[in-house]
Structure 1
């Protein structure tokens, strides 16, 4: 009788121990993303600049509380993201220096989560468009930031945001796709006189 009891006890104990093993759920799958064909149109609103943006995006005025005239959002509803554009007229060399330093500060605030931050010079002398492009790698809130200026009167800062938790592995295909749109935007950017 004692042997039978200890056998049942061992069997029950073994079942409890084996059920307590660490469970590994199946990894989460991501949706297949259908990318639209790249076609561009020109933004030419009341602001002192123009640029090409994709037909599958929408340019809308920034409606945030602190927004100023000619602050725009290039919205990507299918990707739950936007490129925020903030324009500022330049009135002095000191203001220009402050704006460019602010752009650098905003980009490097992501250092905590970034694995790398690369800077690229933007220079289109024929159009008087100059600036810096910041490519920010890692799980950061903004993967691309840039500013454009004519160095005397106009300044525009841009930043790409997705309304998702920043997980680079899940947004990388969309990020690569939208970066090409940003490149097109910068290449076609013009100041109005």
Structure 2
């Protein structure tokens, strides 16, 4: 009888240990959900040889880097630790060199990029022409672009984040900022400084 009880207890223990085992399934690695504000814009107007609409949730700051020139500014996204660096140059029979320099700076990211797409931009009624470089992968800059009137003015833009590049975690923010860049390009106009 004692032997039967021991066997019964052991069987019950074995049954319960098998029943209590959790079946675990691997879960994919995830990232925090990011809530974005509505796209609303203000107009940059005074003191520059250009104007465009920029997002209300950003901050416009003068570029304070040692190499900064006149009319260089940053559109800062403090919540996402990102900046669109805008650098302006006047064209003086050197458009070819400026264009090649801009292209070289965009393709400098090809070492880490999976692909670089080019999208042509034209607004002939405003004399605004350019290219947007869509840089895929873990490159330091995800988007670069330039705008020019082909005669006197040139503006280059580049998007950078102050984080380690990770295409998966940055993708929603890059897509959000890319909409702002498209809007900037579509609302962009050249001005003479006497218009200010």
Which category of TM-score, normalised to the shorter sequence, fits these structures?
0.7 to 0.9
Q: How does 1:166-181 map to 2 (within 5 A)?
A: 166-181=165-180
Match of 1:7 in 2: none
Q: How does 1:130-149 map to 2 (within 5 A)?
A: 130-149=129-148
Match of 1:18 in 2: none
In structure 1, how many angstroms separate the alpha carbons of the residues matched to 2:143 and 2:131?
Answer: 11
2:51 maps to 1:50? yes
In structure 2, how many angstroms separate the alpha carbons of the residues matched to 1:81 and 1:45?
Answer: 24
Instruction: After TM superposition, give the deviation of residue 28 of structure 1 in Å.
Output: 6.4
2:80 maps to 1:79? yes
Q: So what's the TM-score if we normalise by structure 1?
A: 0.83
State the SS of the aligned residue for 2:103: helix
In structure 2, how many angstroms separate the alpha carbons of the residues matched to 1:45 and 1:70?
Answer: 11
In structure 2, how many angstroms separate the alpha carbons of the residues matched to 1:32 and 1:114?
Answer: 25
In structure 1, how many angstroms separate the alpha carbons of the residues matched to 2:176 and 2:141?
Answer: 15
Q: Deviations over 1:155-193 (max 9, x none)?
A: 000000010100000000001000000000000000003
Match of 1:6 in 2: none
Match of 1:114 in 2: 113
Match of 2:191 in 1: 192
Structure 2 portions without partners, runs of 5+: 1-26
Equivalenced residues, count: 167
Instruction: After TM superposition, give the deviation of residue 56 of structure 1 in Å.
Output: 0.2
2:96 maps to 1:97? yes
In structure 1, how many angstroms separate the alpha carbons of the residues matched to 2:82 and 2:46?
Answer: 22
Instruction: After TM superposition, give the deviation of residue 132 of structure 1 in Å.
Output: 1.0
Instruction: After TM superposition, give the deviation of residue 32 of structure 1 in Å.
Output: 2.3
State the SS of the aligned residue for 1:143: strand
State the SS of the aligned residue for 1:59: strand
State the SS of the aligned residue for 2:165: coil
Instruction: Mark the structure with the bigger radius of gyration.
Output: 2
Which runs of 4 or more aligned residues in structure 1 lie more than 2 Å from their structure 2 counterparts after TM superposition? 26-32
Match of 2:8 in 1: none
Structure 1 portions without partners, runs of 5+: 1-25
In structure 2, how many angstroms separate the alpha carbons of the residues matched to 1:66 and 1:146?
Answer: 19
Q: Deviations over 1:134-159 (max 9, x none)?
A: 00000000010011000000000000
In structure 2, how many angstroms separate the alpha carbons of the residues matched to 1:112 and 1:176?
Answer: 22
Q: So what's the TM-score if we normalise by structure 2?
A: 0.82
Instruction: After TM superposition, give the deviation of residue 30 of structure 1 in Å.
Output: 2.9
